[in-house]
Structure 1
Amino acid sequence: MRSSPPDIASLDGRKVALWGWGREGRAAYRAIRARLPELALTLFCSTAEAAEAMALGDANLSAETDASASRLSAFDVVVKSPGISPYKPEAVAAAQAGTRFIGGTTLWFAEHAGRDGVAADTICVTGTKGKSTTTALLAHLLRAGGHVTALAGNIGLPLLEALEPDIAPELWAIELSSYQTGDVAESGVRPQVAIALNLFPEHLDWHGSHERYVADKLRLITQARPRIAVLNANDPRLAQLGASLTGSEVRWFGRADGWHLREDDLYRGDAFVMDTRALPLPGRHNRGNLCAVLTAIEALGLDAVPLAPHAASFRPLPHRLQTIGTRDGITYVNDSISTTPHASLAALECFASRRVAILIGGHDRGLPWEDFAEAMRTRAPRSIVTMGQNGPRIHALLEPLAAQMGFVLGEASDLADAMAQAKSALGGEGVVLLSPGAPSFGLYRDYVARGRHFAELAGFDPERISTIPGLGVA
């Protein structure tokens, strides 16, 4: 199986298990079952998920709740959901015993291998910050140019759910998390274009260390070997990687000889293209990522200059610096997708001229908050309210600075308490900014549920803020 791309047909006759029954796991099950209806499958999942799976009435599907090393080792292939780390001891032991762990992304790319081993219609996007907006913007501009384009991947539509779309797309705009970049490398299929935006510490609980996170994230470039790598010239690690990369052509963005910003103006080399200030792209980092999108479009052999103005009609994504409304003088901004301190700092920069109360904290993955605290010496908002599992740790870092720098520091028991404290600190005028810099695990199912609760507490309809525009093929 390792000698050729592991497509679904190659699973036939093997002992195969699924690990995880979230949306990705269910997509993998449906895709495999559609091609191999008689293949015996074992599902490793929770007790509640096992009952749900058994209710399908599939005689060739069994479910177990003990994903131990000995059980995992009994299988040739385990199709693993992205949120399950391959560095878990039981996965490591099973891999050493010969079990191969792949993801749904692996299967999808193997199904899309061209004769030369390249999925010629794919543009993959990864990075710590801004990858969802960048991927959606890429799809938006390609569609504006008349190209039927699929928007899928980590952004909210698992690739295997779009394995056989009703309309065949010309191009695929694919967001990949650090959990999925290695799946592309595992497929043995090269993307046509891969974009790497930036690198900051994240997901240390899944990867085990910052160094491994960086290495895993960069597997999209270093091991998947895209035909063309689009890299951020202003990110030190990416600049270093691009200078030594072999096997892929490198195209830079953020550099004076390509697409870049001069203050708020967009340039292609020395040619002025447009003022970006009015674009519906939250934060300067996202307007900078427009340069990545335009560079990738050129890498496809298309003329990007006439497409750039279509960024003005882009619809921002939910839960990403999303202004949900104003009540009683207070504007509520939902940045629930923020899961790193760097993302929270970027959110604050977007509202530097406003009175802001920011809500930070959540699941503790061990990320350092010292840089955030240091930044508060020069750009502190009106108020900071900490919450969640790592709230006390962040609060202890900020407490010595609060009186010194003149910001109001609060400590909340939950999101409702945090919002009440934030509103009180603003005194009837300003911005309540939910940009937690941490995941929602433990209190909410995911960042979407957290953002929806924020909207509800603010007095807005959570249903109206949660739809991701443009998913699928259009």
Structure 2
Amino acid sequence: MKPTCASSRCSSSTTSSGFRRACGNDCVRTSPLKFGQLEDSKVALWGWGREGRAAYRAIRSRLSALPLTLFCNAEEAAEAAALGDAHLATETDASAERLSAFDVVVKSPGISPYRAEAVTAAAAGTRFIGGTALWFGEHAGADGVVPRTICVTGTKGKSTTTALLAHLLRAGGHVTGLAGNIGLPLLEVLDVAQPPEFWVIELSSYQTGDVAHSGAHPQVAVALNVFPEHLDWHGSEARYVEDKLRLLTEAAPRVAIINANDKRLTALSLADSDVRRFADAQGWHLREDDLYRGDDFVMDTRSLPLPGRHNRGNLCAVLTAIEALGLDAKKLAPHAGSFRPLPHRLQTLGTRDGVAYVNDSISTTPHASLAALDCFGNRRVAILVGGHDRGLPWEEFADAMRTHAPLAVITMGQNGPRIHALLEPVAAQGGFHLGAANDLADAMTQAQAALGGEGVVLLSPGAPSFGMYRDYVARGRHFAELAGFDPDMISAIPGLGIA
């Protein structure tokens, strides 16, 4: 199961720190990456957000005198300078020329390795890695496997699935770490006094390749689904899919758990992994709203605090993962009833003057918006859609509105006009009210007017928040404020860390 380079362009030359050169991001290390291997390398950090600061602290905890260069903006450079680290230099111009001067650049997940300057530097031999790679490399055993790690990825539902898995393990008496893309960088839990029995880790498409690049293997990897997303970061749908699936195809987990209903996943050749399927009649699956293990009825899922049938379906992925760890999944399944739903994910805030407000700000794809609408059946719904335009297609959403339209659709944001233009001919047939808003406040006002004091205002944008908000959390908090709710009461993610 030793990783090999996926690129025919690789020269396979190796530096003293163990990095292959001249291949860029397609090249995978042949042994797990350890912090000590950075000691003889020229190292830079790129990005000073939470992940970047975590990487800095982790490197300093092991290599206190290693010269580091931080690429960041001017405000962040001032913050870093205040640390008084004589071995840390800051620069604000992350040009290809400057990046090429380093053997290793530890970059934050939001920075794409497909940016022109990164591609040029990678071709010159600079190795781009993230904090996820450093964490996995440091925890790998002699066989390269990071024991008792369960990684979860997927375009939709991965945060709830990750948190639910941690919840069930803890309910079974197992000390469990919950970290990763869900809100706690892995490098913030690099050194813990009492390591947990299990690590449950959410990975975005920005991080899945990092696991492969670390040279380490998860014990269990779960892939829920794959839809087009983050095309601005990945550059194309094909590359997004390839990057997303590297957790399975290149990281070679001991056990790979896949959705039997996703054709992209079932088509994969995963010879190095024990492949198990959920949503499969022979394993964990739903029959209508009933949960089954094979032909054995386990429970009715309708009362579970898992909004949307897709989330209840992902309970099947959780239980399959629990079985892969050698535990009794049937015994733990009922504990899903005490799960606390995550904020900004089909989160019901409450009701004001006959109107319920549901915050699904995490929704960043049209598929997610359609899944959100499915949760409300025949209720009167006004959905707010639109945000940063990443070029995702909205044609499928528009087609769905011909037969499954809510009472009203209000478009907003950068891609609002494009979505509105697709929906106009459908709305003209009399199927629903279509509005165009200048911003979220305007969209809220239009939605309330359309409902007339009865129904649901659903924020499920199907697009990122960039440009108007710092992130989806800020957008969800603003939605709560506009609806008359305290944003501080709806934003905390329960269970992060070790418990």
Fold match by TM threshold 0.5: yes
| 1:117 equivalent in structure 2 | 144
SS of 1:428's equivalent?
coil
* Counterpart check, 1:10 vs 2:44: no
Separation in 1, partners of 2:459, 2:222: 28
| 2:443 equivalent in structure 1 | 418
How far apart are 1:120 and its partner, in Å? 1.2
SS of 1:452's equivalent?
helix
Give the partner amino acid of 2:284. W
Separation in 2, partners of 1:10, 1:325: 52
Unaligned ranges ≥5, structure 1: none
Partners of 2:402 and 2:431 within 8 A in 1: no
| 2:354 equivalent in structure 1 | 329
Give the partner amino acid of 2:254. R
Separation in 2, partners of 1:48, 1:119: 37
Give the partner amino acid of 1:69. A
**1:18-61 Cα deviation digits (max 9, x unpaired):** 00111100100010011111011100111111111111111111
Separation in 1, partners of 2:399, 2:474: 31
* Counterpart check, 1:304 vs 2:302: no
Counterpart of 2:410 (choices 367, 382, 385) is 385
1:362-373 to structure 2, matched below 5 A, reads 362-373=387-398
Counterpart of 1:76 (choices 100, 103, 106) is 103
Separation in 2, partners of 1:266, 1:165: 37
| 1:466 equivalent in structure 2 | 491
RMSD over equivalenced CA pairs, Å: 0.7
SS of 2:70's equivalent?
strand
* Counterpart check, 1:239 vs 2:259: no
Give the partner amino acid of 1:144. A
1:105-184 to structure 2, matched below 5 A, reads 105-184=132-211
How far apart are 1:82 and its partner, in Å? 0.4
| 1:360 equivalent in structure 2 | 385
How far apart are 1:160 and its partner, in Å? 0.2
**1:432-459 Cα deviation digits (max 9, x unpaired):** 0000000000110000000000001111
How far apart are 1:221 and its partner, in Å? 0.1
Partners of 2:176 and 2:196 within 8 A in 1: yes
* Counterpart check, 1:273 vs 2:298: yes
**1:405-451 Cα deviation digits (max 9, x unpaired):** 43111000000000000000000000000000000001100000000
Separation in 2, partners of 1:447, 1:261: 31
**1:238-276 Cα deviation digits (max 9, x unpaired):** 1111xx321001011000000000000000000000000
Partners of 1:233 and 1:252 within 8 A in 2: yes
How far apart are 1:121 and its partner, in Å? 1.4
Partners of 2:305 and 2:337 within 8 A in 1: yes
State the identity as a percent.
79
Separation in 1, partners of 2:263, 2:309: 18
SS of 1:404's equivalent?
coil
Runs of 4+ more than 2 Å apart: none
Separation in 1, partners of 2:190, 2:216: 16
Give the partner amino acid of 1:149. T
| 2:372 equivalent in structure 1 | 347
Separation in 1, partners of 2:192, 2:335: 26
Separation in 1, partners of 2:431, 2:213: 51
**1:118-171 Cα deviation digits (max 9, x unpaired):** 001100000000000000000000011111000000000000001112331010
Separation in 2, partners of 1:406, 1:173: 44
Partners of 1:377 and 1:405 within 8 A in 2: no
**1:47-88 Cα deviation digits (max 9, x unpaired):** 111111111111111111110110000001000100000011
TM normalised by structure 1 equals 0.99
| 2:68 equivalent in structure 1 | 41
TM normalised by structure 2 equals 0.94
| 1:185 equivalent in structure 2 | 212
SS of 2:163's equivalent?
helix
Separation in 2, partners of 1:286, 1:165: 31
Separation in 1, partners of 2:216, 2:39: 20
How far apart are 1:352 and its partner, in Å? 1.9
1:283-322 to structure 2, matched below 5 A, reads 283-322=308-347
* Counterpart check, 1:197 vs 2:215: no
Separation in 1, partners of 2:148, 2:134: 16
How far apart are 1:332 and its partner, in Å? 0.4
How far apart are 1:302 and its partner, in Å? 0.8
SS of 1:417's equivalent?
helix
SS of 2:117's equivalent?
helix
SS of 1:381's equivalent?
coil
Partners of 2:379 and 2:455 within 8 A in 1: yes
**1:361-416 Cα deviation digits (max 9, x unpaired):** 00000000000000000000000000000000000000111131431110000000
